[in-house]
């Protein structure tokens, strides 16, 4: 089948929206039906996104109007706590529409599919309400999941993100002048991604996020206490067994660097280091917060929802 699948995007002005537009513009099956942005209402999409060659213009659609467009899929790239009116209208007016929400609004809702394909694709078939995981939450779960059954206590995760993760609304966390020569800690307990990973993995995770002066990319260092001694070969074997066949997770013997992941569509995990007694493991994972942490993962979920190859349209 080569019929086009129409897709609407609400929240198109942000960094993630821009990345998703580029991916969809090059996708062999998806086509943009509309892109909604209050600030750019009426402006030509091609003037802002050179990868798009059509005549589409930004519109400013409220929830009812967005649901009434007849798109096969709707992606919500909105700040937290803004998705509900759009979901309610889709439920009422076009319940067959596939909805992918990029915010945290439905990550704790058992009625929604949590779309981290490497860990949840077995449950993806037929799901029409999909919650995209958080960027940090993806990096944490990639780092922790292969050792899930042998953990002896809470996992400590130290994360550093580029400032694109703070969005486009001006704040200290995306101000290059304030970030220059700086590392800015924030939300050191109770971060939404800490709660997200704790819920998904069913074990306590303690997360300490920071923002750095680079634009994109996450590095996540996880400290795992183990229930028995391990050697490095067994540790590596677990990660290769989990991800060796995954197209968008690369296991590396070296410690991943965030500078090598910017603009790439996969996650990397490695740097495996054991304490002398073999009962403490440190793992490093990296990913681009705008891609595998958001837009690329959303496209994986859309492909799965429509029965397409999971990596269709995702550059190698």
- Give the whole-angstrom CA distance, residue 269 versus residue 251: 5
How far, in Å, CA of 54 to CA of 147, rounded? 47
| Start-to-end Cα distance in the chain | 23
Q: Nearest-5° angle of CA 30, CA 246, CA 21? A: 25
Longest dimension (CA), the chain: 63
234's CB contacts (< 8 A; 6+ apart) are none
Of 25, 45, 135, 298, which one is the catalytic site residue?
A: 135
CA distance 147 to 236: 10
Unique residue bearing structure tokens 């403490």: 280
Collapsing DSSP to helix, strand or coil, 45 comes out as helix
φ/ψ of residue 157, rounded to 5: -125, 125
* Helical (H) or strand (E) element with 250: strand 249-252
Give the Cα separation of 46 and 3 in Å (integer): 23
E strands, 105-240, in order: 113-114, 129-131, 155-161, 184-185, 205-211, 218-225
Mark whether 157 is an active-site residue. no
The residues annotated as belonging to the active site are: 135
């Amino acid at each position: 089948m080569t019929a086009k699948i129409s897709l609407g995007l609400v929240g198109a002005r942000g960094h993630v929206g821009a990345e998703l537009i580029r991916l969809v513009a090059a996708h062999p099956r998806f086509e943009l039906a509309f892109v909604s942005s209050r600030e750019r209402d009426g402006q030509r999409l091609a003037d802002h996104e050179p990868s798009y060659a059509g005549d589409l213009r930004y519109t400013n659609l409220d929830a009812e109007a967005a649901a009434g467009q007849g798109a096969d899929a709707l992606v919500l790239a909105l700040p937290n706590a803004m998705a509900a009116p759009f979901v309610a209208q889709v439920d009422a007016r076009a319940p067959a529409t596939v909805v992918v929400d990029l915010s945290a609004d439905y990550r704790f809702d058992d009625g929604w599919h949590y779309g981290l394909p490497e860990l949840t694709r077995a449950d993806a078939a037929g799901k029409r309400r999909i919650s995209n995981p958080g960027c940090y939450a993806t990096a944490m779960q990639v780092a922790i999941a292969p050792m899930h059954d042998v953990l002896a206590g809470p996992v400590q995760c130290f994360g550093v993100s580029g400032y694109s993760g703070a969005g486009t609304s001006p704040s200290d966390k995306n101000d290059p002048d304030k970030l220059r020569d700086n590392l800015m800690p924030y939300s050191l307990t109770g971060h939404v991604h800490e709660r997200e990973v704790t819920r998904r993995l069913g074990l306590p995770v303690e997360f300490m996020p920071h923002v750095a002066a680079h634009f994109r990319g996450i590095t996540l260092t996880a400290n795992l206490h183990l229930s028995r001694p391990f050697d490095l070969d067994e540790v590596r074997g677990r990660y290769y067994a989990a991800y060796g066949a995954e197209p968008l997770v690369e296991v590396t013997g070296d410690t991943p660097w965030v500078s090598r992941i910017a603009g790439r569509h996969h996650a990397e995990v490695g740097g495996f280091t054991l304490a002398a007694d073999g009962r403490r493991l440190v793992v490093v994972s990296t990913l681009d917060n705008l891609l595998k942490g958001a837009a690329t993962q959303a496209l994986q979920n859309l492909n799965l929802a429509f029965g397409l190859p999971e990596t269709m349209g995702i550059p190698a």
